[in-house]
Structure 1
Amino acid sequence: MSPTVRTARHDDYDDIVDMTSDVWADRAMADYIPDVFRDWVDDDGAARKTLVADVGGHAVGIAQAVLLTETEAWFQGMRVDSEHRGKGLGSLLTDHLIKWAADAGASVGRSMVFSWNEAGLGQSLAAGFEAVTSFRWVHPDPADVTPEMTVRNDPATAWRYWQGSDGRDALSGLALDSGESWALSTLTQETLDRLAAEQAVLTVGEKPQGMACRVRTTESDGEQLAEYAVGVWRDVAAAQSLFTAIAADAATLGVDATRVLIPETPRHVAQAAYAGGDVSECPDYVFEIRDLRELS
């Protein structure tokens, strides 16, 4: 029976639960899709589309695209039932979402894959994506501490530092998106101006030697979490002050933990481990289609 692609519905929920029950069984972690699926269905509209591959009236694949900006689309949640893998359903879903995103005006599309997810890495390449960057998370503990360097909430200075940073180059100009969890988009001066007013933008040093920006507080595994879109810095001393400033900022919010996105380079990872403490064990990879219109 040939598969069809259609918009996801609430009555697909049981199929989605079955499909995702063994996705990462060897990693001792549950898939997040069942927790967000109903919200995805409810939120479908001009800026978000969730599709399923249907075989015989059952959803056996799922994927979603989200418009992060006028030109940037994010693809996520790609899953295919274990009994239907290797049949091209992932590429079929991606092709439909690429057309949807291109028709909506997006010119570039991106996605994220855990570095240990070999099937996901292969699927991304098969769907036409190319790997463009990688990152890790650092988790400094919230604490009432004082950095050695001067700390300011200064978006203009942060923007100038970001533009000349090797971290920006390593990340291809991307940072954690302020609207969509687990998505990355281009960090702009306008975004920093807004975050300075609504959240926090941190620079360290009289002559800036590092910057970070907070995008939101959220709940994860029962803990209140402060998320920082990116952290970049010049050297070990700057890293120490930057992560101390993040710890202090998080403490003022009363959160339990933090998550800071950093470039996956030997320098950044090593210095973050020294200055910031807990660094995620594995990197995450970001894939990109540079011109969706060519594939739509």
Structure 2
Amino acid sequence: MTPSPSSTEAVVREARPADADAVAAFTRDTWGERHADYIPRVFPEWAASDDPDRGTFVATLPPAALAESDVIAGNDAVTGTDGDRTDGDTLVEGDGSGVADSGEPEAVVGCIQGVLLTEWEAWGQGIRVDPAARGFGVGTALSTAALDWARDRGATVCRNMVFSWNVMGLGQSRAVGFEPATEFRFAEPVPDARATDAANESGGAAAGATDEAAGTTGASEPRSVDGPDPNAAWAFWADSDARDHLRGLALDPDESWACSELTRERLATAAAEDRLIAVAGADGEFAGFAVRTRIAGRPAANAESADDDSAESDDDETDDAEPERVAVYGVSAWRDIEAAGVLYNQIAADAADVAADAVRVLIPETVEHVSDTGANRIPVAGEPDFVMSADLTARGAGDGGGDGGTNGANGTNGGL
């Protein structure tokens, strides 16, 4: 039977490398048949890191709390556990900072990581709860610890990312103080070294676009821009529908699969490093831009390790894709459907220039942006992702809530 909630409360402590096997035991089947989970691969590095700008935590319970769990017995119909769990597979030796005294056993039943992205922005990721520990407030305890950690370091906001289909994870985030912020989707143009020339010759639309998208060539048709001005890009961004929908956010330049505020300085850095891509009309009027945020190495199935830029797998938190070099464009905005076509072609050419095998372009999840993309025959990801935000100046952030359901339902997205 599933253990009944009692007065036993989860105790959260800092993660240790010795917790890795326990965490792997309850994260191997997080998403069931949807995807493999990246946590077993990255957690050892997370736990070993002494970076002051990131904190990794685990939740602990007394071993007796899990003694009669149906999940451990392998017959839990809710989680679909297939019997690969064993009694004691999450037990570690306590050091006195968790629920157990030093030298005594304790069960590791959850994990989470907080990252300080800027002086005022924090990010929460990788929250997982052992299905065997439902009913003990593990999800709330982990979220509270991460939010307190971020607040103590001066952050005034903490954000996270949740799959749009993860209803229980969304509910858990709301319960502990997160509010809806924005949603986005990834466009997936194919790298093509000839794409820019094709777009300029076709009068603005993406190579292969429909006749309606291509239109007719004219003086106002957008063209690629050499040496784009970051200040012009900033002015365009500040007044764009994309910025309004995304709440000013873009993929963070340093932390994979996290979002932080796009700044003028970041655009200037991108321009200086030849990562800013822009389009303009024939009269020079700025018409759109994108920023190549990073090149990520997406790992193969069951990868033991990955490049630094791929510390957290691809956009679906999987390890089940073939190895490939992914060019990630963490923000994009455009004036109209024609500008979108030229911009996508420039992105395709830029990706080919950096020897990318695949492309991810963050676009706002709006009818306009997705349909502009579709009209230019650019594939998009099957589902959007949601970003949520917790105001750390509000005392209620981190209070309330429960466990967020099963292991898989309690996960949030994590890196490219």
TM-score, L = length of structure 1: 0.96
Query: Given the superposition, is the C-alpha separation of residues 13 and 65 from structure 1 closer, same or farther in structure 2, using an over 3 Å criterion?
Result: same
Secondary structure of the structure 2 residue equivalent to 1:225: strand
Query: Given the superposition, is the C-alpha separation of residues 239 and 86 from structure 1 closer, same or farther in structure 2, using an over 3 Å criterion?
Result: farther
1:151 to 204, 220, 225: 225
Size of the alignment, in residue pairs?
295
Aligned partners of 1:174 and 1:52: how far apart in 2? 29
C-alpha displacement of 1:160: 1.0
Partner of 1:267: 368
2:112 to 42, 58, 63: 63
Aligned partners of 2:393 and 2:60: how far apart in 1? 24
RMSD: 1.4
C-alpha displacement of 1:87: 2.7
C-alpha displacement of 1:44: 3.8
Letter of the 2:141 partner, please give it. L
Partner of 2:292: 214
C-alpha displacement of 1:23: 1.3
* Mapped contact 2:122–2:158 kept (Cα < 8 A): yes
Question: If each structure's strand is expressed as a fraction of its own residues, which one has the higher value?
Answer: 1
Aligned partners of 1:195 and 1:132: how far apart in 2? 25
Letter of the 1:177 partner, please give it. D
Secondary structure of the structure 2 residue equivalent to 1:62: strand
Partner of 2:52: 46
* Mapped contact 1:137–1:259 kept (Cα < 8 A): yes
The answer to whether structure 1 residue 277 and structure 2 residue 370 are counterparts is no
Gap runs ≥5 in structure 1: none
Aligned partners of 1:168 and 1:109: how far apart in 2? 19
Task: State which drifts further: 256-265 or 286-295.
Answer: 286-295
* Mapped contact 2:192–2:352 kept (Cα < 8 A): yes
Computing the radius of gyration over CA atoms, which structure comes out larger, 1 or 2? 2
Listed as ranges, the matches of 1:31-42 within 5 Å are 31-42=37-48
C-alpha displacement of 1:293: 5.3
Letter of the 2:286 partner, please give it. P
The answer to whether structure 1 residue 74 and structure 2 residue 123 are counterparts is yes
Q: Deviations over 1:21-54 (max 9, x none)?
A: 2210041x10111111112112243200000001
* Mapped contact 1:109–1:292 kept (Cα < 8 A): no
Q: Deviations over 1:192-250 (max 9, x none)?
A: 11122235111101211111001111101410011111111111101100100100111
Question: If each structure's helix is expressed as a fraction of its own residues, which one has the higher value?
Answer: 1
Aligned partners of 1:52 and 1:237: how far apart in 2? 49
* Mapped contact 1:102–1:293 kept (Cα < 8 A): no
List structure 1 runs of 4+ shifted beyond 6 angstroms.
none
* Mapped contact 2:224–2:343 kept (Cα < 8 A): no
Listed as ranges, the matches of 1:236-247 within 5 Å are 236-247=337-348
Letter of the 2:137 partner, please give it. G
Aligned partners of 1:232 and 1:37: how far apart in 2? 35
1:169 to 244, 250, 259: 244
* Mapped contact 1:138–1:261 kept (Cα < 8 A): yes
The answer to whether structure 1 residue 131 and structure 2 residue 180 are counterparts is yes
Letter of the 2:31 partner, please give it. W
* Mapped contact 2:115–2:122 kept (Cα < 8 A): yes
Partner of 2:99: none
Letter of the 1:165 partner, please give it. S
Aligned partners of 2:352 and 2:236: how far apart in 1? 25
* Mapped contact 2:10–2:141 kept (Cα < 8 A): no
2:11 to 4, 7, 13: 4
Query: Given the superposition, is the C-alpha separation of residues 199 and 42 from structure 1 closer, same or farther in structure 2, using an over 3 Å criterion?
Result: farther
C-alpha displacement of 1:143: 0.4
Partner of 1:87: 136
Secondary structure of the structure 2 residue equivalent to 1:95: helix
Partner of 1:142: 191
Partner of 2:317: none
Letter of the 2:238 partner, please give it. Q
Aligned partners of 2:108 and 2:125: how far apart in 1? 17
Partner of 2:32: 25
1:287 to 375, 379, 388: 388
C-alpha displacement of 1:292: 4.2
* Mapped contact 2:327–2:356 kept (Cα < 8 A): yes
Secondary structure of the structure 1 residue equivalent to 2:286: coil
Aligned partners of 1:52 and 1:171: how far apart in 2? 31
TM-score, L = length of structure 2: 0.69
* Mapped contact 1:199–1:216 kept (Cα < 8 A): no
Q: Deviations over 1:88-131 (max 9, x none)?
A: 21111111111111110100110000001112111101111001
Partner of 1:116: 165
The answer to whether structure 1 residue 103 and structure 2 residue 152 are counterparts is yes
RCO (CA 8 Å, sep 6+): is it higher in 1 or 2?
2
Aligned partners of 1:11 and 1:293: how far apart in 2? 35
2:336 to 232, 235, 242: 235
